[in-house]
Amino acid sequence: MSDRKLTITYNDRVVRQFMLATVVWGAVGMLVGVLIASQLNFWRLNFNLPWLTFGRLRPLHTNAVIFAFVGNMMFAGVYYSTQRLLKARLASDFLSSLHFWAWQAIIVAAAITLPLGFTRGKEYAELIWPINIAVALIWVVFAINFFWTLAKRNEPSLYVAIWFYIATIITVAMLYIVNHLSIPTSLLHSYPVFGGVQDALVQWWYGHNAVAFFLTTPILGIMYYFLPKAAERPVYSYRLSVIHFWSLVFVYIWAGPHHLLNTALPNWLQALGMTFSLMLWAPSWGGMLNGLLTLRGAWHKLRTDPVLKFYAAAVTFYGMATFEGPLLSIKSVNALAHYSDWIIGHVHAGALGWNGFMAAGMIYWLLPKLWNKPLYSTALANLHFWIGTVGILLYVAAMWTSGITQGLMLNATTEGGTVLAYPNFLDTLNAIRLMMLMRVIGGGLYLTGFLLLAYNVIRTISGAQAVDGRVDVYVDDLKSAERPLGVFGTFLNPPVVFSALGVLFACVWMFGGPALQIVGLFGTAICAILAVAHFATRGTRWAGWYERLLVSAAPFTVLTFVAVAAGGLIQIVPTVVVNKAQNMEERIAKPYTPLELAGRDIYVREGCYNCHSQMIRTMVPDVLRYGDYSRLGESLYDHPYQWGSRRTGPDLARVGGKYNAAWHFVHMADPRNTSPGSNMPNYPWLYNNHTDVAALYGKINVMRALGVPYPPLSAALVTEEVELQAKTIVEELKAAQQLTSSDREIVALIAYLQRLGKYEKVVRSAAVTP
């Protein structure tokens, strides 16, 4: 052993900062959640104010919980455990500090812009493009800080938690950048580069994997570090953790299309999404059991130790949520559950149970260590646990009941399946009122518990002295133990070569013409046979490469990136290539008129997609209720797509022409005028605000750049078209004794709503033959 002893002092200041930010933003995010849940019960809580309506606050709630609450918690946990597992101080104090303060600035920017209606109109990806760039840059700062620390580590072995962090950093970067590709029309507005089914697929590739790689993999890394520490015993099975990591990372990325089952999404993608979702059962439960079994011999501590209570419950909720997720991905189950509160319940079992309780356990465990002072009150922490648990159970049970009730009612038919049993949508909404109230109570209890945590934190750290951890390491020993793989070693080895060739031939087989198909099929088969033969005769080379990979951070990162990118590319590339007008069958959208486009932007701004879908599924009850099922071509030019994910109100894909303009005019002023029992907010400002006609010329140019076939239009012509169409609507309203000016936003919104469901028939000869 070398004599060169080095004492390292960790940067725990940034851990403390992120941890306190978790507490603050967690309380804010949950408070907004309770408010919007209350708005669903009592529509007056929207206060007739644009920045307090459900449609604008719901994105604030989801973004706050995901990126502010869990994000800050994740950074705290990652920075704390990484330093200790690598026996190295974070590489740069400046980058650490920049990471913290810039992330908080981003959160504040989101908290200001979202209620003001500045949004991209895509769930969990609502933030406007300047903030998107800031997020991407700060994520890069995080990555540099992390990988730099990895490079100067004093422990050659990479514990499995570090693997999870690596997968998180690279995958989130990839997902975030691709799903936020946009072309700006102004400083505060942009259109996504993807449209229609492309946008839907990319969105849920991102959305699902935001759950996977933002809310799950980093928290699993945290679980693998903090749970053994709290239980004071090593992880139950390190072997199982290895299997857990690779299978989870490999499988998760493919499951996104399960958010689009029974829609116009091509069948092969739906089948792929469903199959991979079902296969997620295995790694998820492997990880869950590994976590729970780590508590072997320590169960008695749960009686008194709130940290272990939180961890045990969190891992149990992880197991519940990851059982429920694949279940909901079965197409027939999804037909009942999709667009209903069941999905909301599922999400909250994960967010409140898994993320929230992991955060609480971590905070209670870290507090005494980071401030060198015992927790102010263990009894309060235990009370938090029980209040929180009861809150989650109330919430989730209410949402299950609500979702199944409404789903069954919406899908119920009579007369041999030809007539809807509950044709009035509001009957199904009013049937779940009690459950919606229970949800508020459950959420309120959970928030109360979290406020107890905040109180406990304040009392613990008040008057306490912050401390930074230290460790002694022996540098020379560790450096000589490293055997880096290098570039050639990373790629030119049997596992990588055979995998790459196999994927290449499989792609040729799937996407090639008749001759190439045969080449691809034989190539894939030969590749598989050669790989098996090579493995059988030279298996030690495969194993040797794998073992060196595990101590080589850069090659490990590159290959993990390749593994996660493959799933996305195979799903997205064919859809992006094929989603063009000449490939559409039956029906195709017409570009929106300038006034309709302005109305659509208002629809997106108000967050209507949070409650209304625009996708009639290929199911009899959907068709009976909303009209003919939606075709791919009908949303071809929708940037962003508006298929939605929840139907608090009815689907609007074919609402155009269903009612007259006056109906919409009266409805938007107070939905209860036309729909007694509705819980939709009033939109009085639409009758006063002026339509932003001046911006339309630039917006249409961006749309044209995105491939929407607008004819050449001058700014004057755009204004002329807007005035002409608005005048027609105003005249129609006037005939029904509803008076307004043609320059008001309500007129543009009516133009858009009346347009929904209108399409052109595709002339057969125009279609490209296969």
Partner 1 sequence: MFRRLIFDHWVAIFPLISFVVTATVYFAISRQALRMTPRQTEHFARLPFEDNHHDAS
Q: Can you give the binding site for partner 1, defined by CB under 8 A?
A: 9-10, 12-13, 81, 84-85, 87, 155, 157, 159-161, 225, 228-229, 234-235, 237-240, 242-243, 246-247, 250-251, 254, 266-268, 270-272, 274-276, 279, 282, 369, 372, 465-471, 506, 510-513, 543, 546, 574-575, 577-578, 583, 585, 632, 768, 770
- Taking the complex as a whole, the smallest distance from the CB of residue 547 to partner 1 amounts, in Å, to 9
- Taking the complex as a whole, the smallest distance from the CB of residue 408 to partner 1 amounts, in Å, to 28
Tokens of 658: 């269903």
- Taking the complex as a whole, the smallest distance from the CB of residue 711 to partner 1 amounts, in Å, to 28
Is the C-alpha dihedral spanning 381, 384, 390, 392 positive or negative? negative
| Cα 494 from Cα 487, distance rounded (Å) | 14
- Taking the complex as a whole, the smallest distance from the CB of residue 58 to partner 1 amounts, in Å, to 33
463 vs 770 by CB, closer to partner 1: 770
Indicate the residue type of 123.
E
Decide if 428 contacts 406 (C-beta within 8 A): yes
311 vs 339 by CB, closer to partner 1: 311
- Taking the complex as a whole, the smallest distance from the CB of residue 454 to partner 1 amounts, in Å, to 24
Decide if 254 contacts 567 (C-beta within 8 A): yes
Strands 413-414 and 760-761: unpaired
Tokens of 664: 């919409």
441 vs 506 by CB, closer to partner 1: 506
- Taking the complex as a whole, the smallest distance from the CB of residue 328 to partner 1 amounts, in Å, to 17
Q: Which residue has the tokens 């001759």?
A: 515
Using a 10 angstrom Cβ sphere, with 0-12 exposed, 13-18 middle and 19 or more buried, the burial of residue 331 is middle
Decide if 591 contacts 710 (C-beta within 8 A): yes
- Taking the complex as a whole, the smallest distance from the CB of residue 158 to partner 1 amounts, in Å, to 9
304 vs 372 by CB, closer to partner 1: 372
515 vs 739 by CB, closer to partner 1: 515
- Taking the complex as a whole, the smallest distance from the CB of residue 523 to partner 1 amounts, in Å, to 15
- Taking the complex as a whole, the smallest distance from the CB of residue 531 to partner 1 amounts, in Å, to 9
- Taking the complex as a whole, the smallest distance from the CB of residue 513 to partner 1 amounts, in Å, to 6
H/E stretch holding 97 reads helix 93-113
b/e sequence 252-270, b meaning 16+ C-beta within 10 Å:
bbbbbbbbbbbbbbbeebb
Indicate the residue type of 343.
I
- Taking the complex as a whole, the smallest distance from the CB of residue 617 to partner 1 amounts, in Å, to 17
468 vs 692 by CB, closer to partner 1: 468
Q: Residue 414 in 3-state DSSP? A: strand
739 vs 768 by CB, closer to partner 1: 768
413 vs 499 by CB, closer to partner 1: 499
Which candidate, 27, 55, 21, places its Cα nearest to that of 39?
A: 55
235 vs 655 by CB, closer to partner 1: 235
- Taking the complex as a whole, the smallest distance from the CB of residue 766 to partner 1 amounts, in Å, to 14
Indicate the residue type of 402.
S
- Taking the complex as a whole, the smallest distance from the CB of residue 277 to partner 1 amounts, in Å, to 10
Q: Using only the alpha carbons of the chain, give its radius of gyration.
A: 27
297 vs 423 by CB, closer to partner 1: 297
How far is residue 372 from each of residues 308, 375, 376, measured CA to CA in Å?
A: 20, 9, 12
451 vs 576 by CB, closer to partner 1: 576
| Cα 663 from Cα 682, distance rounded (Å) | 14
Which candidate, 759, 756, 754, 757, places its Cα nearest to that of 664?
A: 754
> Which DSSP symbol is given to 66?
I
Say how many residues make up the chain: 770
544 vs 677 by CB, closer to partner 1: 544
Which candidate, 225, 92, 75, places its Cα nearest to that of 162?
A: 225
Tokens of 643: 């298929």
Angle between helices 553-578 and 129-151 (to 10 degrees): 150
| Cα 132 from Cα 119, distance rounded (Å) | 11
512 vs 698 by CB, closer to partner 1: 512
b/e sequence 217-226, b meaning 16+ C-beta within 10 Å:
bbbbbbbbbb
369 vs 672 by CB, closer to partner 1: 369
> Which DSSP symbol is given to 40?
H
- Taking the complex as a whole, the smallest distance from the CB of residue 535 to partner 1 amounts, in Å, to 9
Residue 35 exposure: Cα atoms within 13 Å on the Cβ side: 21
| Cα 235 from Cα 237, distance rounded (Å) | 6
H/E stretch holding 7 reads strand 5-9
Which candidate, 23, 207, 22, 187, places its Cα nearest to that of 122?
A: 207
Q: Which residue has the tokens 């949402």?
A: 399
128 vs 223 by CB, closer to partner 1: 223
Tokens of 165: 């962090």
Which spans in 329-432 are helix H?
A: 331-337, 341-348, 357-371, 378-411, 425-430
341 vs 638 by CB, closer to partner 1: 638
- Taking the complex as a whole, the smallest distance from the CB of residue 261 to partner 1 amounts, in Å, to 13
- Taking the complex as a whole, the smallest distance from the CB of residue 85 to partner 1 amounts, in Å, to 6
| Cα 450 from Cα 683, distance rounded (Å) | 34
